Amino acid sequence: MNLTRKSILLPLFIGVLLIVLAGCGERDKETHIATSVRDHQVKPPVDKPAEELLSTQASFIEVSQKVTPSVVNISAERVRSSGEMAPFFDNFFEEFFKNHPAVPRKEKSLGSGVIISEDGFILTNEHVVRGAEEIKVKLSDQRVYSGTVVGSDPRTDVAVVKIDAGEALPAAVLGDSDGLKVGQWALAIGNPFGLDRTLTVGVISATGRANIGIEDYEDFIQTDASINPGNSGGPLLNIYGEVVGINTAIVAAGQGIGFAIPINLARLIANQLMENGEVSRGWLGVSIQAMTPELAESFGLDKVNGALVNRVFPGSPAAQAGVKRGDILLSFAGKEIRGVRELQLLVANTPAGKTEPLEVLRDGRKLSLSVTVTEQQTQTADEKAPPVKKMRQGITVAPQEGGEGVLVVEVDPQSSAAEAGVRAGDVILSVDRQDVRDPAAFDRAMTEAQKKHNVVLLIQRGDSTIYLAIPLS
Per-residue pLDDT, 327: 92
Task: Please indicate, yes or no, if residue 29 is contained in any of the structural domains.
Answer: no
| Whether residue 184 is found in the same domain as residue 228 | yes
Which of 248, 276, 304 lies at the terminal end of a domain, its last residue? 276
Considering the domain architecture, whether residues 271 and 287 belong to the same structural domain is answered as: no
Select which of 64, 70, 112, 127 is catalytic: 127
- What is the pLDDT, as a whole number, of residue 183? 95
- Do 360 and 314 share a structural domain? yes
CATH (domain of 329)? 2.30.42.10
The total number of structural domains that make up the chain: 3
Could you confirm whether 232 is annotated as catalytic? yes
Q: What is the pLDDT of residue 422?
A: 66
* Catalytic option among 75, 152, 232, 298: 232
Averaged pLDDT, groups of 10, the chain, 473 residues long: 56 61 53 57 81 92 94 84 46 50 66 94 93 91 93 91 94 93 94 83 89 74 87 93 91 76 93 89 87 84 87 89 92 88 85 91 92 72 36 70 75 64 78 82 80 79 78 65
DSSP secondary structure letters along 23-76 = HHHHHHHHH------SSSSS--SSSS--HHHHHHHHHHHHHHHHHGGGEEEEEE
From 157, 219, 327, 426, the catalytic residue? 157
Task: Say how far apart CA 12 and CA 42 lie, in whole Å.
Answer: 43
Q: How far apart are CA 235 and CA 457, in angstroms?
A: 47
The residue range of the domain holding 310 is 282-375
117 as an active site residue: the answer is no
- Select from 276, 292, 318 the last residue of a domain: 276
Are 260 and 317 in the same domain? no
In whole angstroms, give the CA distance from residue 130 to residue 125: 9
Do the beta carbons of residue 235 and residue 170 sit within 8 Å?
Answer: no
On whether residue 453 sits in a domain, the answer given is yes
Global model pTM greater than 0.95: no
What is the model's pLDDT at position 383? Answer: 42
The neighbouring-strand residues paired with 176 are: none
Residue 131: per-residue pLDDT: 84
Q: Residue 36: its pLDDT value, please?
A: 54
pLDDT value of position 68: 94
Please tell me the total number of residues recorded for the chain in this structure.
Answer: 473
Residue 447 in domain: yes
